[in-house]
């Protein structure tokens, strides 16, 4: 499986390519389809397995294709450091 299978917006696919991602990790391939379908999800995986991209990619897709001028996503992080890492990941993926 590759990221094209998720049928993400071409701008998101460009961000994925720019980061050098070629195939989704296990957490990504299991979670992205469910999140894209609007399902709630709780996932656990070790550090470095792509958890941020697992939820960031579907959120970016929703932001690009959903309604405007309403709150469409809220991400809560337990620390400022993790919030900053998440912000950076969104910036890189959403180029």
Predicted structure pTM score: 0.89
Residues 57, 6 contacting (CB under 8 angstroms): yes
- Look-up of token digits 């696919």: 13
pLDDT score at 68: 84
Residues of the chain with pLDDT under 50: none
pLDDT of residue 94: 86
């Amino acid at each position: 499986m590759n990221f094209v299978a998720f049928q993400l917006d071409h701008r998101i696919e460009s961000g994925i390519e720019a980061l050098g991602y070629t195939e989704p990790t296990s957490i990504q391939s299991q979670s992205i389809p469910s999140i894209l379908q609007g399902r709630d999800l709780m996932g656990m995986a070790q550090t470095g397995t792509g958890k941020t991209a697992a939820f960031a990619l579907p959120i970016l897709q929703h932001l690009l294709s959903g309604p405007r001028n309403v709150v469409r996503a809220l991400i809560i992080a337990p620390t400022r450091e993790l919030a900053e890492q998440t912000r950076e990941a969104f910036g890189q993926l959403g180029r």
